[in-house]
Structure 1
């Protein structure tokens, strides 16, 4: 897993660039690392725990995925053909669609966290990382960036191993609190973002993976918040 950490977090560990794409199966494991401190903050019920937990999460994983979400949203919202959408996504300037997407994702997370159990941020991160693995499994690369590099190393064995690992990491929480199973519905957000990406851009790149990660996490927290309210 150590070779994946430098690409998915800001943790100062040295990873081997060549070996990283052979460890794609370990994406779900990263959730254990990225969510441990935010979960602790929520468990201790510190003042403004929802804000502090989210700040700690982004301090750990960085803002790269949020930046990808902004670029992705700009591309999705542009009217025109596929070439024009890809051009908008690659534009260095962030448009109003990108800004709106980032604000809404942060808003949903901040306001969902006080309504859900402390371990929900772990489930949301687990879904987020597994969703990225699903995005890579489409084998529909777009451009020649890091996303394409990882996608070239993706295969059925890595997906099967990652899926098994995801299930094993989710199972303890589901056994501890069976209603937490509803959090699996957060992956529907991942499926929708993947669908939109393929329809609008014809493939998936790093920006699309960032959008998949961010929207899946926010969507999972939203699902868990509504489920607890409904109960």
Structure 2
């Protein structure tokens, strides 16, 4: 079961070539979402390597940050950004639930979705550039690695029991309501501890990392509350929006401490 869950997590959340899972059920789906921070490790390592190489090459911090963010985007085929755009388009389209869901399913991005993508990517890159300006060497690279992995903890909250799917088909049907609140708490506490340790190692106060995780949790929870009110539940697109918002929040919080 663990092997199937791992393959499901890596195959869904990254562009890494992996064998398809032998069997997919709700138990394996729940475990895959809990493994999401670890499954994102290849993307995080890529971003960390770019940060380190950019500093060694003397690139401007903003250029290095944009390249690092680009690696993460390319590493998941822009899946989460697509979800962000569709979610915002759905919320902006209409107050009618069915109309909003239909807009999200079209696969095209409207003005609201494009604006959201630009703003969130801009926040991620600008915040990361600020973090890089406050530290040098391998330490900020490790902080970026931890931030990317920790941001994927958002998926456990999207799948917590009590948050129902907006549709009976698609990604939501398999993954939603599969993770218990206790396990969500365990994953987020682990993410907060990792961020606190990384922040301390970089030279920040340890609690800045923990605060970044707490703020990301609050932002993701707000997105879920809004999605449930507007769509009647969550979809795979909402999962993507939550991940991107989580990463942006973590980086912004860390930038305020650098």
State the TM-score bracket (shorter-chain normalisation): 0.7 to 0.9
Map Cα deviations across residues 166-194 of structure 1 (whole Å, 9 max, x no partner). 35544532553413333222222211111
1:100 and 2:115 aligned? yes
1:216 and 2:239 aligned? no
How far apart in 1 are the matches of 2:194 and 2:173? 27
Change (3 A) 1:9 1:175: same
- Secondary structure at 1:113 match in 2: helix
Structure 1, unaligned runs of 5 or more: none
- Secondary structure at 1:124 match in 2: helix
Asked which structure has the greater RCO (Cα within 8 Å, sep 6+), the reply is 1
Aligned to 1:130: 153
The TM-score, its normalising length taken from structure 1, stands at 0.86
Aligned to 2:170: 145
Aligned to 1:3: 8
CA RMSD of aligned residues (A): 2.3
Aligned to 1:194: 224
How far apart in 1 are the matches of 2:251 and 2:104? 26
- Secondary structure at 2:18 match in 1: coil
Q: Where does 1:18-97 land on structure 2 (aligned, <5 Å)?
A: 18=24, 20-21=28-29, 22-44=31-53, 45=55, 46=57, 47=59, 48-97=63-112
Structure 2, unaligned runs of 5 or more: 1-5, 133-139
| Bigger mean CA deviation after superposition, 130-139 or 117-126 | 117-126
How far apart in 2 are the matches of 1:52 and 1:13? 25
Kept in 2, the 8 Å contact 1:123–1:183? The answer is no
